């Protein structure tokens, strides 16, 4: 009987009957007093077992849910990693978006993506120097395509590595190409960083004046009345205090005698969009040249008796190409007259004068003395005999020699000169250089583009010298 009662209770509960229903049925159809204790005992046991089953079921469900969630996380992570490996050029994984862009990664990318005519910096080292020291660009946010930041330039360097480098390399360059900050954004950023108070003290004043500059130059121009020329000189001004003293005036509103006049067309640095070909580009005018040379070259550096003499002589000069720094042309002389007004007239006035000073001539090793022509002088059809100098006169003329720095080399790289020779080094590179020996016998200041350094050798010896900024650039000079 006992087993039957217990089986009945379990079956009834399994079929969904409640304990109250089971008690009511048993009270009606059996001797409840005899079986009550067994029924209650079985109900208690069965309910306890049911609760254990329910709890166990919940635990099983919870474990299954956690396993499913873990599987979802694993699958999602795998999909994300795969998408990052297939991410489009010019972008970075989302997990890297918060990391600051560095000059190292920017310069590595722009040097590899922008080469040949699209090159923005002479070398990766130049890029690093400009980015961190001269321009002091803010890092910016990754993937920002339009701001005056390292991040914007890195973005366009990434894009240039896969498509349209002619368009994107200028944006990745030092000036930002009008996209990574407007030209005036760049100009005023550099002006307040590297030339504070010369003349601007606030961004608003700077931007208002910059709006008046011509934007028709090419990034990297070193001459000409354009915002691009001024940006170049502001960047170089960040090298050190001495460089700032030289280049800040060039970036000022009046151009400091350098960022003035005709805007030259550059072909060695990419522009955006590429400039149209210039047919017969206009050269400097004699009036402009004579004004510059007569203003800059006075006293011991005077080249012409007066403006009329200069104008008469100028008529015989070949015009040349705007921005030339060598060659027997008006353009070369105009360049050095403009530079002489800002720095070292003792060197540059001779280059700007009638003789060319060993620089503004067609054959650098042969200096032809060109005598000024008086406006009242008539040219005779019969050449006059030229008096030959006596040996004593020849000995009295000091020897001169010019060495140029171009394409990251000294030219000539090795030379022998007599005692008493004065050597002039001229930097034609866009990058700064020095003329330095390890023992200090030669120790020039920083020479930026167009700058020169002179030294007279009074004793015999061998001088192995180098550029302290680029120590791999070496040369030798032997004095006998």
C-alpha closest to that of 234 among 252, 254, 218: 252
CA angle 270, 275, 281 (to 5 degrees): 115
Q: Are residues 44 and 102 in the same domain?
A: no
pLDDT of 282: 45
Model confidence band, residue 473 (pLDDT cutoffs 50, 70, 90): confident
Residue 378 lies in a domain: no
Residue 182 lies in a domain: yes
Q: Residue 299 carries which DSSP code?
A: G
Chosen domain end from 257, 275, 308: 257
Q: Are residues 303 and 251 in the same domain?
A: no
Q: Are residues 108 and 174 in the same domain?
A: yes
Q: Are residues 240 and 198 in the same domain?
A: yes
Q: Are residues 210 and 341 in the same domain?
A: no
Q: Are residues 111 and 227 in the same domain?
A: yes
Q: Are residues 212 and 305 in the same domain?
A: no
User: Mean pLDDT, to the nearest integer, of 381-390?
Assistant: 46
Q: Are residues 103 and 250 in the same domain?
A: yes
DSSP per-residue letters across 408-467: TEEESSEEEE-TT-EEEEEE-SSS-B--EETTSSSB---B-TT-EEEEE--S-EEEEEE-
Q: Residue 130 carries which DSSP code?
A: I
Q: Are residues 213 and 314 in the same domain?
A: no
Residue 126 lies in a domain: yes
Q: Are residues 127 and 66 in the same domain?
A: no
What whole-number distance in Å separates Cα of residue 191 and Cα of residue 227? 12
Chosen domain end from 303, 329, 358: 358
Residue with more model confidence, 60 or 229:
229
CA angle 450, 456, 460 (to 5 degrees): 130
What whole-number distance in Å separates Cα of residue 441 and Cα of residue 451? 20
Q: Residue 389 carries which DSSP code?
A: P
Q: Check pLDDT > 60 for residue 205.
A: yes
Q: 397-431: per-residue pLDDT in tens?
A: 457 899 999 878 898 989 999 999 999 999 888 77
Does residue 329 contact residue 319 with C-beta atoms inside 8 Å? yes
For CA atoms 316, 320, 325, 330, give the dihedral sign: positive
Which residues are CB-neighbours of 278 under 8 A, at least 6 positions away?
A: 265
Distance of CA 38 to the CA centre of its chain: 94
Q: Are residues 106 and 197 in the same domain?
A: yes
Domain total of the chain: 4
Domain range for 67 is 2-71
Q: 74-117: per-residue pLDDT in tens?
A: 777 777 666 554 444 444 444 455 578 899 999 999 999 998 88
Q: Are residues 404 and 317 in the same domain?
A: no
Helices (H) and strands (E) in the chain, counts: 16, 8
Which residues pair with residue 463 across a beta bridge? 477
Residue 381 lies in a domain: no
């Amino acid at each position: 009987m006992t087993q039957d009662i217990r089986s009945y209770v379990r079956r009834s509960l399994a079929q969904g009957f409640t304990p109250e229903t089971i008690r009511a049925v048993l009270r009606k159809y059996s001797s409840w007093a005899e079986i009550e204790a067994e029924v209650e005992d079985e109900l208690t046991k069965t309910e306890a077992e049911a609760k254990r089953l329910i709890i166990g079921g919940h635990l099983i469900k919870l474990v299954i849910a956690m396993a499913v969630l873990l599987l979802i996380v694993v699958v999602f992570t795998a999909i994300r990693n795969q998408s990052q490996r297939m991410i489009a050029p010019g972008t970075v994984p989302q997990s890297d978006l918060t990391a600051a862009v560095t000059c190292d990664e920017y310069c590595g990318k722009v040097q590899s993506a922008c080469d040949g005519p699209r090159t923005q910096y002479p070398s990766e080292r130049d890029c690093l120097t400009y980015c961190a020291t001269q321009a002091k660009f803010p890092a910016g946010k990754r993937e920002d395509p339009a701001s005056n930041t390292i991040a914007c330039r890195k973005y366009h360097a990434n894009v240039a590595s896969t498509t349209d480098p002619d368009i994107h390399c200028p944006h990745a360059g030092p000036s930002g190409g009008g996209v990574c900050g407007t030209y005036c954004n760049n100009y005023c950023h550099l002006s307040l960083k590297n030339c504070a108070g010369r003349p601007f003290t606030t961004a608003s004043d700077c931007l208002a004046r910059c709006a008046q500059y011509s934007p028709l130059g090419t990034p990297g121009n070193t001459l000409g009345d354009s915002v691009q020329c001024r940006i170049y000189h502001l960047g170089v001004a960040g090298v050190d205090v001495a460089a700032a003293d030289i280049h800040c005036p060039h970036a000022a509103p009046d151009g400091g005698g350098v960022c003035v006049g005709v805007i030259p067309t550059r072909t060695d640095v990419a522009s955006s969009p590429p400039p149209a070909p210039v047919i017969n580009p206009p050269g400097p005018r004699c009036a402009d040249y004579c004004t510059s040379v007569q203003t800059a070259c006075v006293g011991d550096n005077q080249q012409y008796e007066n403006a009329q003499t200069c104008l008469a002589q100028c008529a015989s000069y070949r015009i040349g190409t705007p921005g030339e720094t060598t060659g027997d042309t008006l353009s070369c002389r105009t360049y050095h007259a403009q530079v002489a007004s800002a720095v070292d007239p003792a060197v540059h006035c001779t280059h700007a004068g009638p003789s060319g000073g060993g620089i503004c001539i067609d054959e650098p090793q042969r200096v032809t003395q060109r005598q000024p022509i008086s406006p009242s002088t008539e040219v005779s059809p019969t050449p006059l005999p030229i008096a030959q100098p006596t040996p004593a006169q020849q000995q009295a003329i000091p020897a001169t020699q010019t060495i140029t720095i171009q394409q990251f080399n000294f030219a000539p790289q090795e030379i022998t000169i007599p005692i008493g020779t004065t050597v002039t080094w001229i930097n034609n590179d866009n990058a700064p250089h020095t003329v330095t020996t390890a023992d200090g016998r030669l120790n020039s200041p920083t020479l930026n583009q167009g700058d020169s350094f002179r030294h007279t050798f009074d004793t015999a010896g061998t001088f192995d010298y180098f550029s302290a900024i680029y120590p791999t650039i070496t040369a030798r000079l032997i004095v006998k």
